[in-house]
Every structure is written in structure tokens, then in C-alpha cells.
Amino acid sequence: MQLELTRNCCRTSFPLRYKLAAERGVSFQESFVDIKEQAIKKLANSMRIYVETHMDFQRLKTIDIEEAVENLDRAFEAKLEAFHSLYDVTKDDLDYFSYGDTAAIILMRNAIHHRDHLLFQSWNHNMALNEGYKKHLGAEFLLAGYDVLDSTARMRYFYKLEDFYLRIDESLQSPYIESRMGSKNRKKLLSQLGSELNFSDIKQKAESERYPIKQVYVNVMPIFISAVCRAFTALKEKGVEFKGFDARAYEAPFINELKVDFAKVVYEPLRIT
């Protein structure tokens, strides 16, 4: 009986939207535009909150390093969730899986959202919590990133390069493979990350310089910036408005100003001492 009730509710969801929209005196199309604007506002809010959390990180870490790291991690994950919410309601306006940057953000979000593994833990989480750096004393790590506006990205947030491969590279026979994607889509995404985000070059450099793959991290902040630029630009071209202070504040920079150069990978070796 409960299952049948659930099915009936699912069947009536769209008619209910029409009815609710009509009661408010707006068309369903107008209502859906409002939903898109709401999603943009949510994403912009999360971006502003992350910046504020990032600015407070240095102060807070001297008082409580665990709280500082957890706050920043949760703030970044909130951005991924907000981006996915935007994807949910605008997938007809932009093919998110046709581009390496937007597809990578959705891949990260899904992995972190379902959390049935220990992948995609930040550099701060691995090194700063519970004195994790002591496990790696003497080891050298390779940090890879990209230029934003022809200069090194000011904000940095690192995940292991290996974690991306463990989700979509079937040749690794990983127990953490992204099972919600079909084999064809996993292979497509693997190719996109390799060519569009130059993951293949990063991996090749690490191998040529004998870095263990577990000691290679990628700054995902430029990837996020590029993905938001792409989504905001597509929606602006579709006539979607940016409403609310945060949305308006981020509109111009992410549509007209910011640009990520994935062709130029910036490397930084870092030895733990």
C-alpha cells in the first residue's frame, strides 16, 4: 500500500506544479524560471560563505585546527551541492557532461554526497587532522593546479588525483568505481578529464619523476571556477536573471572576467618536514 502511494505521488508531481503555479497567478514556465533563479542564488550564497570561511581559516586554525578544517571542508562541499542543485534544474539549458570542468564537479559532488568510501578527503583533512602529516615526514608531494587570469589561483583546495581515477578508471578494478554511471559514460569522462583538464599530463609527469600516485594532489578550485563560468554564461544567454545580492555580485566576474587556462598546468613540489 505504501509503495503504491509513493508511485501515485510521483505520477502527480508535475500536475501539482501546474496547479500550484496557477494558484499563484503564474504559468508553469514562469515558475520554472523562478526555480532556476533560486538555484543560481543558492550557488552564489554558498560561494560567498566559502570565501568567508576561507578568510577565517588562518585565525581559527590557531585556536581549533579540527574546527577550522571541518568548516572549510563542509563549506566547499556545500558549493558542490549547490552546483548540483543548479545542474538538476538547468540540465536542459546546458549539457553538463559534454565538458570536463562541469562533469568533474558533478563527479566530485556525487562521490562526496554518497560517501560510501574514503575518497575525496582534502589535503587539510589528510595532513592537519590528527597530525596526519607525521605519517609522511620526509615524503615529497606534487601539487598541480592551473592559472586563473594568467596567474596562480589565489584560492587552493586540493584532492588526490588518484581519487578521480578510482571512481571512473575501470582498468584499476577499484572497489570505489562510480556504479551509478554506465561503462560508456565512465570511459567518456575519463577521456575528458585526461584531455580537457590535462589529468593525463599531470599523471605522466608524476610517473616520470617517480612520485607515487597517492602523493599527487590537484587544486580543484580552478575547475570549480571554470564550471561556474560555463554554467552562468549559458544561463545568462538563455535569459535567466541573476537575483539577490550574491548572485548579482558574482554575475559579472564569472561571465565576463574569470578564465581558467587548463593548457598550462602549474606544478609545486612540497616536501613534508
pLDDT reported for residue 78 = 99
Q: Report the distance separating Cα 249 and Cα 257, nearest Å.
A: 12
Alpha-carbon distances of 184 from 94, 103, 144, rounded to whole Å: 20, 14, 28
- Please state the pTM of the whole predicted model: 0.89
Q: Report the distance separating Cα 155 and Cα 23, nearest Å.
A: 45
Is 172 domain-assigned?
yes
How many CA atoms, within 13 angstroms, populate the side-chain half-sphere of residue 117? 19
Angle at 23 between CA 22 and CA 26, to 5 degrees: 45
Return phi, psi of residue 106, to 5°.
Answer: -65, -40
Residues shown for the chain = 273
What average pLDDT score do residues 268-272 get?
A: 98
Q: Report the distance separating Cα 91 and Cα 87, nearest Å.
A: 5
Report whether pLDDT(14) > 70.
no
pLDDT band at 2 (very low <50, low <70, confident <90, very high): very low
| pLDDT tens digit sequence for 65-106 | 999 999 999 999 999 999 999 999 999 999 999 999 999 999
- Contact call for residues 82 and 42 (beta carbons, < 8 A): yes
Report whether pLDDT(10) > 90.
no
What average pLDDT score do residues 123-151 get?
A: 95
Is 232 domain-assigned?
yes
Q: What total number of domains does the chain contain?
A: 1
- Contact call for residues 236 and 203 (beta carbons, < 8 A): no
Is 170 domain-assigned?
yes
- Contact call for residues 144 and 161 (beta carbons, < 8 A): yes
Q: Which domain holds residue 123?
A: 96-271
Is 88 domain-assigned?
no
| Residue labelled with grid coordinates 542543485 | 85
pLDDT reported for residue 29 = 60
Which residue, 150, 156, 82, 146, is CA-closest to 112? 82
What average pLDDT score do residues 53-59 get?
A: 98
Is 35 domain-assigned?
no
Is 71 domain-assigned?
no
Which residue, 228, 230, 246, 254, is CA-closest to 41? 246
What average pLDDT score do residues 249-254 get?
A: 98
pLDDT reported for residue 13 = 46
Is 239 domain-assigned?
yes
Q: Report the distance separating Cα 36 and Cα 211, nearest Å.
A: 44
User: Dmax over Cα atoms in the chain, in whole Å?
Assistant: 67
What is the SS3 string spanning the chain? CHHHHHHHHHHCHHHHHHHHHHHCCCCHHHHHHHHHHHHHHHHHHHHHHHHHHHHHHHHHHCCCHHHHHHHHHHHHHHHHHHHHHHHHHHCCCCCHHHCHHHHHHHHHHHHHHHCCCCCCCCHHHHHHHHHHHHHHCCCEEEEEEEEECCEECCCCCEEEHHHHHHHHCHHHCCCCCCCCCCHHHHHHHHHHHHHHCCHHHHHHHHHHCCCCHHHEEEECHHHHHHHHHHHHHHHHHCCCCCCCHHHHHHHHHHHHHCCEEEEEEEEEEEECC
pLDDT reported for residue 40 = 99
pLDDT reported for residue 149 = 86
Is 249 domain-assigned?
yes
pLDDT reported for residue 27 = 53
